[in-house]
Amino acid sequence: MYEQIARNKRRTFVILFLFVALIGLVAFAFSLLFQAGWAGVAIAVVFSLGLAFFSYYQSDRIALAASHAKPADEEEYRRYHNLVEGLCIAAGLPKPRLYVVDDPAPNAFATGRNPDHAAIAVTTGLLEKMNRVELEGVLAHELSHIKNYDILVTTVAVVAVGAIALAADIGLRFAFWGGMRDRRDSNDSGGLGGIIALLALALIVLAPFAAYLMQFAMSRNREYLADASGVQLTRYPPGLISALEKLRDDQAVVHYATKATAQMWIEQPLEQAPDKSERRKFDHLFDTHPPLEDRIARLQEM
């Protein structure tokens, strides 16, 4: 397990580099498509580095704001605070900031850039539907994401995927409503210039799909590891197993979840069809999480 955690840390920086590189490529495609020249290339480099810096320091706030999370009052949510404090002592972690999302769907996520700058958010549905040992299992899972340094890459991915999707949308609108027409009217149109424009346009179109594929690649194994780390922390696998079974059987979706934030949650927060408990193997291909049945089966073997 400790080897897997170390491998996760190395992969985190590789994935972060790939996100920055993809953002840079999209910005570079913009400069080619709109004939910005070397000035456009310089702007692309500055933009990608600036977004990476911003994502590192501000992505947790963006993720919490996007999820409509509010600080959890210590008196109103005493059980929530007590469980996290006890688990943090056991794990040797500083207590993260605690938030609540007003949503009836049971779910939770962790965010931040490191254990010293981390936060956990749970839905009101989770607090209402889980008993003490089940809630402890879920919180241990989220604290494991913090301890395993999963939160940095997943939180930065929220900003990166959103920025790439937005940039692609803007680029396509400009290309079809003005940029491509202006390029055809210029003296450089046709020939090599036309090929470069098409390649740049293809890069802008494909970039969001590449970003989503990176999300899929990075999140599934981390969920298995967080499950295993979580039950090591509580020393009671039935708690998390029971929580995952309740999540499997609950059909509610998180209203404020998006495709960009989906991989942060403990289970797939978006609407799925057919029924979550009856989906075929192929239906899980583009999920951000492994099937709950598989996660439960692994925990039952521990």
Mean pLDDT of the region 269-294: 62
Per-residue pLDDT band for 297 (boundaries 50, 70, 90) equals very high
Question: Tokens for 181?
Answer: 């027409």
- Cα–Cα distance measured from residue 93 to residue 200, given in angstroms and rounded to the nearest whole number: 46
Number of Cβ atoms within 10 Å of the Cβ of 92: 8
CATH code at 104? Answer: 3.30.2010.10
Is the pLDDT at 32 greater than 90? The verdict is no
**Which residues does 263 contact at the CB level (< 8 Å), separation at least 6?**
154, 157, 215, 218, 219, 288, 289
- Percentage of the chain surpassing pLDDT 70? 76
The string of pLDDT tens digits covering residues 46-61 is: 776 777 777 778 878 9
Q: Which of 167-176, 178-187, 257-266 has the lowest mean pLDDT?
A: 178-187
> In DSSP terms, which residues pair with 114 in a beta bridge?
117
Active-site residue flag, 142: yes
Task: Please check whether residues 71 and 212 belong to one and the same domain.
Answer: no
- Residue after which a domain boundary falls, among 174, 190, 217: 217
Task: Please check whether residues 129 and 58 belong to one and the same domain.
Answer: no
Of the candidates 74, 128, 134, 142, the residue annotated as catalytic is 142
Could you tell me if 225 and 1 are in contact, meaning their C-beta atoms sit under 8 angstroms apart?
yes
Task: Please check whether residues 142 and 226 belong to one and the same domain.
Answer: yes
Task: Please check whether residues 82 and 129 belong to one and the same domain.
Answer: yes
The string of pLDDT tens digits covering residues 122-178 is: 999 999 999 999 999 999 999 999 998 888 777 777 777 777 777 777 766 766 665
pLDDT at 68: 94
Higher-pLDDT residue of 28, 93: 93
Is the pLDDT at 181 greater than 70? The verdict is no
Number of Cβ atoms within 10 Å of the Cβ of 142: 28
- Cα–Cα distance measured from residue 206 to residue 190, given in angstroms and rounded to the nearest whole number: 23
- Percentage of the chain surpassing pLDDT 90? 38
Is the pLDDT at 281 greater than 70? The verdict is no
| Owning domain of residue 210 | 2-63+160-217
Q: Which residue type occupies 143?
A: L
**Residue 31 burial by CB count (10 A; 0-12/13-18/19+): exposed, middle or buried?**
buried
Task: Please check whether residues 32 and 173 belong to one and the same domain.
Answer: yes
Is the pLDDT at 285 greater than 90? The verdict is no
- Cα–Cα distance measured from residue 271 to residue 287, given in angstroms and rounded to the nearest whole number: 11
Task: Please check whether residues 104 and 193 belong to one and the same domain.
Answer: no
Task: Please check whether residues 278 and 135 belong to one and the same domain.
Answer: yes
Task: Please check whether residues 103 and 184 belong to one and the same domain.
Answer: no
Could you tell me if 260 and 161 are in contact, meaning their C-beta atoms sit under 8 angstroms apart?
yes
| Site of tokens 């027409």 | 181
Task: Please check whether residues 126 and 201 belong to one and the same domain.
Answer: no
Mean pLDDT of the region 83-95: 96
Higher-pLDDT residue of 115, 190: 115
Task: Please check whether residues 51 and 72 belong to one and the same domain.
Answer: no
| Site of tokens 């934030």 | 261
What's the domain count of the chain?
Answer: 2
Q: Which of 6-10, 42-46, 229-233 has the lowest mean pLDDT?
A: 6-10
- Cα–Cα distance measured from residue 201 to residue 205, given in angstroms and rounded to the nearest whole number: 6
- Cα–Cα distance measured from residue 211 to residue 162, given in angstroms and rounded to the nearest whole number: 9
User: How many CA atoms are closer than 13 Å to the CA of 28, on its beta-carbon side?
Assistant: 13
Task: Please check whether residues 114 and 232 belong to one and the same domain.
Answer: yes
Quote the pTM value.
0.78
Mean pLDDT of the region 231-255: 93
